[in-house]
Amino acid sequence: MPDQATRPALLWFRNDLRLADHAALRAAMRGGRPVLPVYVLDDAAAGAWATGGASRWWLHHSLTSLAAALAKRGVQLVLRRGAAVDEIPRLARAIGAAEVHTAGAALPWARRLDRAVADALARDGVTFTRHRTTMLFNPETLRTQAGGSYGVFTPFSRACFAHEPPHPPEPAPARIQGVAPSDADQLNSDTLADWDLLPTRSDWAGGLRAAWTPGEVGAHRRLRQFLTDLLDGYAARRDVPGDDGTSRLSPHLAFGEISPAQIWHAATVALHRSAPGTERFLTELLWREFSHYLLWFHPELPEQPLRPDFARMAWRDAPADLAAWQRGRTGIPIVDAGMRQLWQTGWMHNRVRMVVASFLVKHLLLPWQAGEAWFWDTLVDADLASNSASWQWVAGSGADAAPYFRIFNPVLQGQKFDPEGEYVRRFVPELGRLDRRFVHAPWHAPAAELRAAGIVLGKDYPLPVVDLAAGRARALAAFAALRDAGT
């Protein structure tokens, strides 16, 4: 029987679908051990946060890319669908593994699953090690002077910039030694086709295919393009939804096709040459880190308001308004453009995300959890930490939250950041012929302008589901009542 040092290791991939800068992979390969790479689709363990529809499309293609990269290095990716607490120990026994290595994440359900898997493996004498592959820093090392966790972003970001920099990223290994099991039947793998991750009833993924290239190669191609062509103007262009001025790395990060450390080091090279926009970009990367940090210390973040008094908020129950928001039929052009961009491409510009979220929570007075759930199902970059932290920020219930009286005026936001109406016209073609003066508020357009543009409000394009002034006043009253009740 092989001794402990030469027995195989099982590598359990999760939201770290890459080979470069992968601490768990390097640990599994240490000493020349044979490695069995595994991915388990365990929807039951994730519960309400099982991978959403758009992300399942991405997952299919990301796993295809990962399997091909592993095959080039001489090893097969084993796919299993079911309970990871059963599948991981079963596969470890099949290869006589001494160790199991995997990613450590802030996800509450994943942390619970890790404990269960570790206990099951321990009964077989197999060690279980989690590695930091999805965050820049160990959250336990970032503490306030009083020893607590940070609840405000600015001091958190200062602490990160002052921290020892993330480790230099390591390249992907040229070759990986695979296992040679005595019973190959026990290592049978599902196929991705078995999992039905792609749309079947209707092909709604055409816009996703046109917009994205999932996988590690696509991630690095996008990073190079961003650093070469877009970083210099990032600070100004990132707020313009009609411009491709953002990194669009978020889905690659969400699936771990590129590590935050790889992005950090690539961007700091640009910083050393004083590229404009770099510090702002790094700050945005730290907002993602802050979101994961919050989830690490507040596992209730996806479901419960971080500020307990918000549990008493008098949200409306208005299914028709929610459906109008989801379909991009609110009658507010910048909101509808954002929601349609989301449906068509699985992504939405960050500035517009704030606008549509504020509109739902403030003008419509609908619970942030409803928006969070819709984003979870429709975003290709759905990330539980970023999604929940950002929705709570807009609602005013989270860490470093926007004050309740900060209510984005969607018309003014459109006029400021999409002054020519380019973004609106792209995703709301009904308004394509409307003059720029009225494209963000067509209800203000004279009848002659509407006729010239071929628009009948309420027929070709909906009337607003809420009067913006009245919605704002209603929100201010509700939030003020909540504040007063807590004093």
As a whole number, mean pLDDT of residues 232-239 equals 90
d(CA 33, CA 51): 32
Least confident of 44-58, 67-81, 200-214: 200-214
Rounded to an integer, the average pLDDT of 217-236 is 92
Query: CA distances (Å), 176 to each of 34, 62, 197, 474, in order?
Result: 8, 19, 28, 61
* Rounded average pLDDT over 389-408: 85
Catalytic residue chosen out of the listed positions 315, 409, 443, 449: 315
Domain coordinates in residue numbering, the chain: 1-133, 135-169+216-297, 308-485
Query: What single string gives the DSSP state of each residue in 29-88?
Result: HGGG--EEEEEEE-HHHHGGGS--HHHHHHHHHHHHHHHHHHHHTT-PPEEEES-HHHHH
Residue 220 pLDDT grade (very low, low, confident, very high; cuts 50, 70, 90): very high
Q: What is the side-by-side order of every strand in the sheet holding 78-81?
A: 78-81, 35-41, 9-13, 99-104, 127-132
pLDDT at 338 over 90: yes
Kindly state the helix (H) or strand (E) to which residue 131 belongs, with its residue range.
strand 127-132
pLDDT for residue 401: 66
Q: How confident is the model at residue 472 (pLDDT cuts 50, 70, 90)?
A: very high
350 is catalytic: yes
Residues 172-199: what's their mean pLDDT?
85
DSSP code for 247:
-
Provide the 3-class DSSP secondary structure of residue 461: strand
Indicate whether 232 pLDDT > 90.
no
Q: Tokens 């109406």 map to which residue? A: 421
Q: In this predicted structure, which of 3-12, 186-195, 213-222, 270-279 has the lowest mean pLDDT?
A: 270-279
CATH T-level assignment (fold) for domain 308-485: DNA Cyclobutane Dipyrimidine Photolyase, subunit A; domain 3 (1.10.579)
Active-site residue, from 170, 195, 279, 287 = 287
The reported pLDDT for the residue numbered 53 is: 92
Q: Once rounded to an integer, what is the mean pLDDT over residues 56-60?
A: 96
- Does position 205 have pLDDT exceeding 80, yes or no? no
For residue 1, is pLDDT > 50? no
CATH architecture of 135-169+216-297: Alpha Horseshoe (1.25)
Q: Is the pLDDT confidence value at 3 over 80?
A: no
Is the model more confident about 105 or about 328? 328
Query: Which of the following is catalytic: 368, 374, 376, 393?
Result: 368
pLDDT at 236: 87
pLDDT band at residue 15, thresholds of 50, 70 and 90?
Answer: very high
Q: Kindly name the residue from 170, 195, 279, 284 that is annotated as catalytic.
A: 284
* H/E run at residue 100: strand 99-104
Decide if 376 is catalytic. no
The angle formed by the CA atoms of residues 250, 403 and 248, to the nearest 5 degrees, is 10
pLDDT, residue 483, reads: 83
In the predicted structure, residue 198 carries a pLDDT above the cut 70: yes
Per-residue pLDDT, 208 = 87
pLDDT at 258 over 70: yes
**Whether residue 217 has pLDDT greater than 90:** yes
Q: Strand, coil or helix: what is 178? A: strand
Q: How many Cβ atoms are within 10 Å of 469's Cβ, its own excluded?
A: 10
Task: Check pLDDT > 90 for residue 342.
Answer: yes
* Contact (CB, 8 A) for 47 and 109: yes
Tell me the mean pLDDT in the region 193-214: 85
Question: Does 273 or 294 have the greater pLDDT score?
Answer: 294
| pLDDT the model gives residue 181 | 62
**Higher-confidence residue: 484 or 160?**
160
Mean pLDDT of the chain: 93
Q: Which residues contact 47 (CB under 8 A, 6 or more apart)?
A: 109
Pick the catalytic residue: 325, 391, 393, 430? 391
Torsion of CA 272, 248, 283, 169, to 10 degrees: -50
Q: Which of 170, 195, 279, 350 is catalytic?
A: 350
Mean pLDDT of 93-98: 95
Other CB atoms within 10 A of residue 143 CB = 12
Token readout for 191 is 């196929």
pLDDT-derived band at 244, boundaries 50, 70, 90? confident
287 is catalytic: yes
Q: 1-133, superfamily in CATH? A: HUPs (3.40.50.620)
